[in-house]
Chain A
Amino acid sequence: MAGNAQEGRTSRIGNVLIRAAITLSMVATLNFVLFRVIPGDPAALLLGGARMSVSAERIEAQRQNWGLDRPLFPDQILDYLSATLHGDLGYSFKFRGRLVSDLIWERLPATIALVGLAQLIAMLCGVMLGLYAGWRRGGAVDRIAMGASLALYSTPSFWLAMVLVVIFSTALGWFPGYGIYSPGASIGSTDKILDYLRHLALPVAAVALGLIGQYVVVARAAMSDVVTEDYMVTARAKGLTNGQMLMRHAFRNAMLPLVTLITLNLGYVVAGAITVEAVFAWPGIGGLTVEALNARDYPVLQGIFLLLGVSIVAANLLADLAYGILDPRIRQ
C-alpha cells in the first residue's frame, strides 16, 4: 500500500513535469514558427531588421551562427532551442542593436514591483472577502462584495487605471498619474522612496482592484461549494459554533481549489499589468510590450512571450506542488 502511494505520487509529479515540458516546447515552437513566417531575411531580422544597415558580412556571419543556411528541421529548430536556452533572444529592431535579453532584464524589476504588490494586496483582501461572502451567502456583505466584484471583474484594468487617473491625479491631484519618478525630484533617499511609492499607488490600485474582483468571485464560489458538503453537517452536528465550523472545517477545504483557480487567472494578471503599465508609461515589461508592438519589434515581442510563457508554466508547477501539499488525497 505504501509502495502504491509512493508510486502514485511519483507519477503525479512526473505528469506535472511532462505537462510543463510540453507547454514550454510549444511556446518555443510557436516562437520559432512565427519568426520564420515574417516576411524578410531572418538573419537580417535578427540583426535588427530592415531599419538598420548591416554589412553583408555580418548578416552572413549571423546566418552561419544561427545555422540559418541549414534545413529548418531538425537543424535550425535545435539551434534555436539551444540559443534560447542560453538566453540568446536576438537583437531588438527598435533599440538599435541592443540584446533583447538585456532589454527585458532592465524592465523586469519595475513590473515585479507592480505585479507583486498588487497580487499581495489582492490575495489578502480578495480571498478573505470572497471566502466570507461565500460563507454568509445571501447576506449584506455578500451582496455588496459580489456586485462590486462582478463589476470589477468585467472592467478592463486599463480603463480602471484611466478612471483613477482622471479622479485622483487630474481632478484631485493626490497622486502622480505618469511615470516612476518625478522629474527633478530631490535627491534624498527617503524622498526618493516616497516619490516612488506615490507613483506606484495608482498603478497598483488599478491592477489590484481588477484582481480583487476576480479573487472575490472565485473564493466565494469555492466557499459556496464547501457549505454544501456533508462534512459541514457533521461539524454542525458536533455542536461547533459557526466560527469553529468556518475556521476548522470550511477554510482549508475552500482554499484547495483556490490554489489552482488563482494560477489560472494569471492571464488576467498579465493582461491587466501590461495594459495598466501602458496607461502610466510605467517602465516595465508592459511598457516594453507597447513599444515593441508599435515598432513591430518582433524579437522583443517574442522574448516577452517567452518570458510570460516560462512564468506561467512555473506558476502552474508551483500551484500543482502546493496543491499536493495542501490536499492529503493527492499527497498520499
Chain B
Amino acid sequence: MSESIVRYSSRSRARAIKSFLSNLLGHAGAQLGLLCLVFFLVLSAVPNILVGPLETVATATGDFLVPPSSQHLLGTDEVGRDVLNLVVHGARISLTIALLATVISLVVGTTVGITAGYYGGRVDVWLMRLTDFFFVMPSFVLALVITPVVLEVMGRGREILGFRPSLFVILVVIGITSWAFVARIVRSQTLSLKERTFIDRARVVGSSNLSIMVRHILPNLVPQIAANGALVVAGAIYVETSLSFLGLGDPLQPSWGTLLSLAQRAGAASTGAWWYLGAPGLCALAVSLSFVLVGNALDDTFNPRQRVIP
C-alpha cells in the first residue's frame, strides 16, 4: 500500500476519496455491479409497496404452476403463489442474511487480524492456528453440521430479532465461519503498518494499544477490508443459498435458496416450470456477480498492476 493513504488532513483525505471514486467508477464492471445492487436494494427495502405482502398458501391467488402471464409476470408456484411476489420478498431475506453475515465476518476477521498482527508473539501464534482451521475448513461444510444441531437445541419456535430461528442461526454461523480470509489479510497489513513511524509517534505520545489499533491502524485497513468484504458477501450468498436449498432455510421467510428448494421438491425442473426455478436463481446469480464485480474493481483500484510485456 502506498504512503498516500496515511494522511490525516481532512482535505487531502477528501481528495483521495474523490480520486478513488472516479477511478472505481471508471470500471465498466463496477458500474454494472453497483447499478444492479442499487436495484436489488430498492427491491428489498420496500417489497410490500412493490408487490404487496408475502403471499402464503392461504392468500395465494393463482392457479398451480402457471407460466408467466400479464397477471403473474413471473408465473406461479405449485400452490398458486405469485413467483414475482416471492422473489421480491426473497431479495430482502437473502440480502439481509448475506450482509449481516458479512458484517459479523468482517468484525471477527478484523479483530482477530489486528490483534494477532499488533501483539505478535504467542497471541499471534494461537490466533493464527485458529484462523488456519477456519481458513482450511469451508464455511459451507462447517455450517452444514453446526446449523442443524444449534437449531435442535434452540427450537424452531419464536423469532429472534425479526428472523425465524433457522435464518438467524444460518447468518450467525456463516458469519463466524467465513472470517479467516479477512483475518489473514488484515494481519499482514497490520504487521507492515506497525513498522511505520506514525505508529511509533502515537506510542511515544502515550496512546493506549487499543487506541492505536482503532484510531491509527484500522483506518488504513479500510481499502483491504472493503475489497474483501464485497467478496465475502458473494460467498455468503452462495453458502446461504446452498444451505437453504438443502432444506435448512425457513418456508415462512423464504430466501431465494429456499424458493429453489421448494421448486426442486415440486419437480419444477422435470416438469419444465422454468419460471419458478429461473427467477430466484437468476436473482442470486445477479447479486452475487455484482458483488464479485465490485470487489474486483475495488481490488484493481487499490492494487493497480502494470503489465511489463506486450
Which residues of A does B touch, CB under 8 Å? 19, 22-23, 26-27, 30-31, 34, 37-39, 137, 150-151, 153-156, 158-159, 162-163, 165-166, 169-171, 177-178, 224-225, 227-230, 232-233, 235-236, 245, 264, 266-268, 270-271, 274-275, 278-279, 289-290, 293-294, 296, 298, 301-302, 304-305, 308-309, 312-313, 316
Contacts and interface: CB of A to CB of B under 8 A. Distances in A.
A151 B289 contact: yes
21 contacts: A27-B137, A38-B149, A38-B152, A156-B242, A156-B285, A158-B260, A159-B284, A159-B285, A163-B278, A165-B269, A166-B277, A177-B270, A227-B308, A228-B308, A267-B140, A271-B138, A293-B148, A296-B148, A308-B141, A312-B138, A316-B136
Given A39-B153, A301-B148, A162 B137 contact: no
A155 B281 contact: yes
A150 B292 contact: yes
B177 to A, nearest CB: 10
A305 B309 contact: no
A23 B132 contact: yes
Interface in B138-173: 138-142, 144-146, 148-149, 152-153
Contact of A279 (B139, B269, B284, B288): B269
A277 to B, nearest CB: 10
Contact of B269 (A177, A267, A289): A177
A93 to B, nearest CB: 12
Interface of B: 129, 132-133, 135-142, 144-146, 148-149, 152-153, 234, 238-239, 241-242, 245-248, 257, 260, 263-264, 268-272, 274, 277-278, 281, 284-285, 288-289, 292-293, 296, 305-309
Q: Is the interface of A mostly helix, strand, loop or mixed?
A: helix
A155 B286 CA distance: 9
A278 B137 contact: no
Given A19-B136, A38-B149, A159-B281, 10 more contacts: A22-B133, A37-B153, A38-B152, A163-B278, A271-B140, A271-B242, A274-B246, A278-B245, A289-B246, A296-B152
A22 B129 contact: yes
A165 B289 CA distance: 23
B274 A34 contact: no
Residue picked from A39, A156, A162, A316, most chain B C-beta under 10 Å: A156
Nearest to A227: B307
Contact of A305 (B132, B144, B270, B271): B144
Nearest to A290: B246
Given A154-B288, A271-B138, A293-B247, A245 B309 contact: yes
A193 B245 CA distance: 31
Contacts of A290: 246-247
Q: Is the interface of B mostly helix, strand, loop or mixed?
A: helix
A279 B270 contact: no
A159 B133 CA distance: 29
A298 B277 CA distance: 30
A37 B309 contact: no
B247 A294 contact: yes
A293 B248 CA distance: 8
B239 A271 contact: yes
A37 B141 contact: no
A163 B296 CA distance: 27
B274 to A, nearest CB: 5
Given A159-B260, A267-B138, A34 B145 contact: yes
B289 A162 contact: no
Given A34-B145, A166-B269, A169-B270, A23 B305 contact: no
Nearest to B282: A159
Contacts of B140: 267, 270-271
Contacts of A304: 144-145
A236 B309 contact: yes
Given A159-B277, A159-B285, A170-B271, A268 B308 contact: no
Contacts of B257: 156
B136 A23 contact: yes
Contacts of B238: 154, 156, 268, 271
B133 A26 contact: yes
A261 B271 CA distance: 39
A330 B271 CA distance: 55
A39 B129 CA distance: 31
Contacts of A313: 136
Contacts of B234: 154
A230 B246 contact: no
A233 B133 contact: no
Contact of B149 (A228, A279, A298): A298
A324 to B, nearest CB: 17
B242 A171 contact: no
A38 B136 CA distance: 26
Residue picked from A137, A235, A245, A271, most chain B C-beta under 10 Å: A271
Contact of A150 (B132, B246, B281, B289): B289
Given A271-B238, A308-B141, A232 B308 contact: yes
A270 B285 contact: no
Contacts of B138: 266-268, 270-271, 312
Given A266-B138, A312-B136, A38 B153 contact: yes
Contacts of A19: 129, 132, 136
A316 B278 CA distance: 36
A298 B146 CA distance: 10
Contacts of A170: 269-272
Given A290-B247, A293-B247, A312-B137, A298 B148 contact: yes
